[in-house]
Structure 1
């Protein structure tokens, strides 16, 4: 995968980072390219603009909760946003991120890339339903990118949100429809932030979610 320097420059204008963090992120991109053919870590259609589509898109999540120290990323896949968030924590010199991924091949990549980049991360090779209860009351932020519709995410995360965890969920152009559907079953305290990488996308910030009694 050839590096598109224009895409890299654009991404770093949108989400500036230090030189050290840029070097860690470049190492992540390099390893992603090396592993992609064998592991199919991300959609091949997104590789030409990986810095904007994946790196900057993940960096903006950390910017919404820069003081948070303990993070949980569900369905980490190829490491976005989880490994990028971990690299941000490495820059800060504090914090830890837990990456939950059920695909063993992707877990192997996550562990490898975390070691190379110095990201303070623990990879949990498990289904979300089997481990998420272990994090209740123990994480500051939970995130999930391109993983599941909002009603499903809320079902997984309800106990985390109830105990003070902030939910940061990047969503695309159909967020309003997801919110409408979720409101049938949930009372949600939430706000949205427009994505810096795609004006049609938003990041949903959920502070509370309570299941409706009649759902």
Structure 2
């Protein structure tokens, strides 16, 4: 396990939604990620000492935003944030599924390893998001973190997810600028959820994503 410099694990341990069994699975996940990080760049190396705050705690926020969702689709899953963390939280919920869309084969192999080692209710789809229409079409909630601009994310999911399906996109302090940029090209409804981990960060809950007619664009 990497040297913890931010007290993040202790904070995660104190959360009401993190049982002893969940914490053990998160510990194992962190161990596996640390071992793989040496050969596959799963997270930014500078964030590894802060993995519990920057990645684990941040990712724990998603599942509670759509507590009734049984079928999550996480796009651009990378090292598994937030998709694998959501799967860990939902492990003991009947019929829950998390589908991870990741086109880089080495990262997809890592995701499969964690799923197998922890017995998680998750499946990896090693494909580009643009080819994952069938997967996204059955989603009850969609998540993405540190993947692309909001404008680009909308292009990835528009027409592939149901209009009323919530998409949860984690964004940093520049989110207002990204919203303005996306508003020039897309119609959508949005709720901002303030991050419980990072000041000025948010998780944007977006629905009804559709391209604006050319005549309506600036």
TM class by shorter chain equals: over 0.9
| TM-score of the aligned structures, taking structure 2 as reference length | 0.92
1:10 and 2:11 equivalent?
A: yes
**Corresponding residue for 1:145?**
145
User: 3-state SS of the aligned residue for 2:196?
Assistant: coil
1:154 and 2:154 equivalent?
A: yes
1:41 and 2:42 equivalent?
A: yes
Q: Structure 1 CA distance, aligned partners of 2:81 and 2:111?
A: 10
**Corresponding residue for 2:175?**
175
Per-residue CA distance 1:149-198 (angstroms, 9 max, x = gap): 11111111112444422100000011100110111111110010111110
Assess if the C-alpha contact under 8 Å between 1:173 and 1:200 holds in 2: yes
1:65 and 2:66 equivalent?
A: yes
**Corresponding residue for 1:110?**
111
Q: In angstroms, what is the RMSD of aligned CA positions?
A: 1.6
User: 3-state SS of the aligned residue for 1:113?
Assistant: helix
Instruction: Please list, as runs of the form range in 1=range in 2, the aligned pairs for 1:69-108 lying within 5 A after superposition.
Output: 69-108=70-109
* 1:145 CA drift (Å): 0.5
Per-residue CA distance 1:118-155 (angstroms, 9 max, x = gap): 21111111111112x11354110111111011111111
Extract unaligned runs of 5+ from structure 2.
none
User: 3-state SS of the aligned residue for 1:4?
Assistant: coil
User: 3-state SS of the aligned residue for 2:213?
Assistant: coil
Are the structure 2 counterparts of residues 31 and 159 from structure 1 closer, same or farther at C-alpha, using a change threshold of 3 Å?
A: same
| TM-score of the aligned structures, taking structure 1 as reference length | 0.94
Extract unaligned runs of 5+ from structure 1.
none
Higher helix proportion: 1
- Count of residues in correspondence between the two structures: 214
Q: Structure 2 CA distance, aligned partners of 1:76 and 1:53?
A: 15
